[in-house]
Homo-oligomer: A and B are copies of this chain.
């Protein structure tokens, strides 16, 4: 292991924003200030695109007041990018790194970002350029491999849980069917978080459909009808990646059908398509009158002022830790291991290889999904509950004893 060089560092934020990705950035900045090996800390504006364009800001100049306000702000304070750099793109980034004497590269993002860091790091090694590349995990989907969970998930899960607590009470007040479409195209963690605020036996969501299990329209309608007959109402949490038994998403099927029907005139490819389709099926097939559907959309990842304290703290630690690792290692991705759960919840950070996190994603483990494929297990609640922080306790009195 070679001595950490005296050189400049760059940090970027990539992919979809989260509620705590700026806490990770704050962690990188404050830790970098502690290490004289890092001379300048460049913030790359709009991630890799800012790196090739040399669109850099001086992060060591931020006041502590600005840093703290930024750490509490949702979204990506440096701007983000959806670019997936190829070898040529990465080559241009490396040219800029050489020109600017950048030998530390911190990249906050999901599995694609880990892959970008891995490619650039590999290219640098081949070229004999001493680059230290570290990935700091973030996703709202919680779908990264190796780590116990991802910074960003706890805050998004808190939003979804608070939304469902209120939405279930709304559905009690004015009974009917309510469908909520939640983010997570390939992993059901965030949709499953809809259940975290349940406190009464008959609290919704009563049904939860995650992308890991295909569900036929017959099964879906049968499930909804069963709950409705029993409770006179039904709240359903649905992943945007909810799919048919052939594992094609329902959204894809709906959009296709609509394109056929519309002769090219009607738009049904926006975010409301799945929600409206499912509501329509229930109205038409089950003849239930009051059916409503909401698609949570971007609010889940960017709502202001709703950070989970645990999540914000862990995100910041992960940012700090990436800089610490860079003082003694050549590359890696920061990961979390759960040491204790429940009231004693505690994690330890460790360093995993970039390649172990790059490209591939994690799904919900089988033990978190019920046998019917329409709900979660207590094991999932145990896993996810420490990550959101305390959720609001509520009171519904309409079912108290009559006089």
**Residues of chain A having any CB pair with chain B under 8 Å:** 13, 16-17, 19, 22, 40, 42-43, 45-46, 54-59, 62, 66, 69-70, 72-82, 162-163, 165-167, 169-170, 172-174, 178, 197, 257-258, 261-263, 265-273, 275-277, 279-281, 284, 292-299, 301-306, 391-398, 400-403
Contact = CB atoms under 8 A, between A and B. Distances in A.
Interface pairs A-B: 5 shortest CB-CB: A272-B272, A267-B280, A270-B276, A294-B297, A75-B169
A288 to B, nearest CB: 14
Among A80, A265, A294, residue most surrounded by chain B Cβ atoms (within 10 Å): A294
A392 B269 CA distance: 33
Given A400-B57, A403-B42, A162 B303 contact: yes
Contacts of A75: 166, 169-170, 172-173, 396
Contacts of A292: 271, 297-298
Contacts of A45: 398
Nearest to A401: B57
A395 B71 CA distance: 8
Contacts of A73: 169, 392, 394-396
A394 B74 contact: yes
9 contacts: A17-B170, A57-B401, A75-B166, A81-B174, A82-B174, A166-B299, A292-B298, A294-B297, A294-B299
Nearest to A75: B169
Contact of A299 (B46, B62, B167): B167
Contact of A295 (B163, B281, B294): B294
A109 to B, nearest CB: 12
Contacts of A43: 397, 400
A45 B401 CA distance: 11
Contacts of A293: 270-272, 297
A17 B167 CA distance: 10
Contact of A74 (B170, B301, B306): B170
Contacts of A299: 163, 166-167, 294, 296, 299
A62 B400 CA distance: 10
A397 B62 contact: yes
Contacts of A66: 395, 397
A361 to B, nearest CB: 20
Nearest to A81: B174
A267 B279 contact: yes
Among A42, A276, A277, A304, residue most surrounded by chain B Cβ atoms (within 10 Å): A304
Contacts of A275: 270-272
Contacts of A263: 261
Contacts of A391: 304-305
